[in-house]
Structure 1
């Protein structure tokens, strides 16, 4: 397997737009003209699973104009607990209307739950709450329901309908969203500058030695984890881009982890770690060669002791439906699994202009 050599990107010269499944986009749209145009409702778990009781108060609230970490910190202040004692399943966009679950560690304070929820409701509408035994963590939710309005659509309606039909049936590349990489890839620049040995990241071999050390992790450590994750995600996108360009992203190649035990194995790509990838043979060679184009970024993982992981190459929305509102406006509804990006889904069909970026917001 021979792949033409490439140089690592220069500072602020990172690729942040990757190949689409059909080789191009059929229309252009304006996204997030208002916060109400981007609605997300987090799907947690069944009612039976939620009514367990415990030391953590789970609150489902609606936010608009606030990012997830800000809300988590405010909940900690209202409760008088550490920021680390507030959990959530995933980061949600600030420029949107989002319904999201948070857990707050409040042992022995069941009698005060109603009063505390009342204080929270002074800042954000509280939709429901319950007690459970454990803190919410990243990826604990089933997925997210989306309802989006795309404005100023420029393109042939028939071509848009056909592209969305294909998206519903076939899915699209499961790229990480460009927002993960910061403005012009700034998070990747910072990944190159950080000291990976200082990462306090779940999954490292040192985590057990630290025990609950993450509870006292400072903002600098959190930022390092963010930059590390951005580097890992960008390398995944580069491997997926190669698989899309070569038409090999639907079927497992020789060396796909687990393929020998499962004929219906999910096709995956690498989340890089210490040792690179656990793919072997043809697939392993492709992944190592693509990542090898960016030695400085790959070197970030040499001292982290982070175990290599896998991520599906394909994203397929559930319950995708759309409705035209005139010739230049489209309303879409769909459901995505955790870790999948609505903007990546849209970007497989549309050239997107983000209104919040036009306004200079970040």
Structure 2
């Protein structure tokens, strides 16, 4: 199997699965209630008591709200919280992006120093738009990856395959996990984000905004403004695609669950490319450099940036993984994933998924 890039505008966006092929088909997100995500954040439990005079637990300058949403994406809700609280958008923090076409519960922090007496009123205003399931005060802002992970309850409909075949595949998934690919949505329609990445001036990724304003996360290495944020998006897509290519080669030869010589940690990992390429040595480094070299138009992005090379696990291991066949023939799955791992990627190792929410989105915007 060849892993060479096929060129701009023709990117590979579907990678090998662990079993050699997907054994079943299914419909995903027929309704938002079919995809439920709850953010797991241990600090919230630690702050449950004692309560302050306004009924909100804990102390600190940040009010943290556990909000349930349906039909809104995370960044939109963060912007609305900024408006309701009368603060800057930068003063609203969250741990990760959650699906729009789903029922999700996640934490947001709002910087409100000296305003504890007004917390109850703000919570009431927010509750007029979204249910607030819990609240506490914290000394620090929530940032990406602060949470312990996400708990999923997902219902698949129109499941097409023999049950014993699916049961066997699910048992394998529970035992060995799935390849930890980045999902195709990161790369844009038909890989459009990758097409744009090859035209980025890499030097713009090192420029700092001259506006003198505080920057949000992810913008510290990009020029200020909307173009800078887009460049970071395209750069991230390039980095993620190169990781997927390395992982694909390891899945193809069956080495994706065991570390190669030269990997800097004792689990199987792949490169998030950066300045100097990879932090691996030995066999792992040689293999990774050979694969990345097959796509020189993306590899060249990293020659002048200051992005430190990082590692990402090759295995996504769902914990507390259980499933149940329902009376209508649908399949309900429940599991926990660590931050940066994707439920649809895990399920795509077994199922050819048809995302029904895409049809809903097209109807809304047609």
TM over 0.5: yes
8 Å contact from structure 1 (residues 65, 96) kept in 2: yes
Cα RMSD (Å): 2.2
Counterpart residue number, 1:342: 343
Q: Is the 8 A contact 1:270 1:309 kept in 2?
A: yes
1:195 corresponds to: 201
Structure 2, unpaired ranges of 5+: 49-56
Distance 2:194 2:338 in 1: 25
| Cα distance between partner residues in 2 of 1:73 and 1:83 | 6
1:150 and 2:148 equivalent?
no
Give yes or no for contact 1:29–1:352 (8 Å, CA) kept in 2: yes
Deviation string 1:162-191 (CA, Å, 9 cap, x unpaired) is: 100111111111111112112221221222
Contact (CA 8 Å) 2:35, 2:102: kept in 1 or not? Answer: yes
Can you give the 5+ residue segments of structure 1 that lack an aligned partner in the other structure? 201-205, 259-264
Residue in 2 that maps onto 1:32:
29
CA deviations over 1:277-319 (Å, ceiling 9, x no partner): 0111111011011111111111122222100000000011001
- 1:202-224 per-position Cα deviation (integer Å, ceiling 9, x unaligned): xxxx7799997424943332222
How do 1:1-362 residues align onto structure 2 when only pairs under 5 Å count? 6-11=4-9, 13-46=10-43, 47-48=45-46, 52-199=58-205, 213-215=214-216, 217-258=224-265, 265-326=266-327, 328-361=329-362
After TM superposition, the score normalised by the length of structure 1 is 0.91
Equivalent-residue separation in structure 2 for 1:116 and 1:240 (angstroms): 46
SS in 2 for 1:23: coil
Find the aligned partners of 1:70 and 1:285 in 2 and give their Cα distance: 43
Report the alpha carbon displacement of residue 353 of structure 1 after superposing the two structures with TM. 0.6
**Higher mean displacement: 309-318 or 319-328:** 319-328
Structure 2 partner of 1:203: none
Distance in structure 2 (CA, Å) of the matches to 1:231 and 1:350: 26
String of CA shifts for 1:247-274, please: whole Å, max 9, x gaps.
111111111114xxxxxx1111000001
TM-score by structure 2 length?
0.90
Distance, in Å, in 1 between the alignment partners of 2:332 and 2:73 is 24
Cα distance in 2, alignment partners of residues 210 and 303 from structure 1: 24
Task: Describe the SS at the equivalent of 2:236.
Answer: helix
Quote the Cα distance in structure 1 between the aligned partners of 2:208 and 2:171: 45
Shift of 1:52: 4.8
Q: Displacement, 1:7? A: 4.1
Tell me, in whole angstroms, the C-alpha distance in 1 between the residues paired with 2:114 and 2:203: 39
CA–CA separation in structure 1 for the residues paired with 2:321 and 2:168: 13
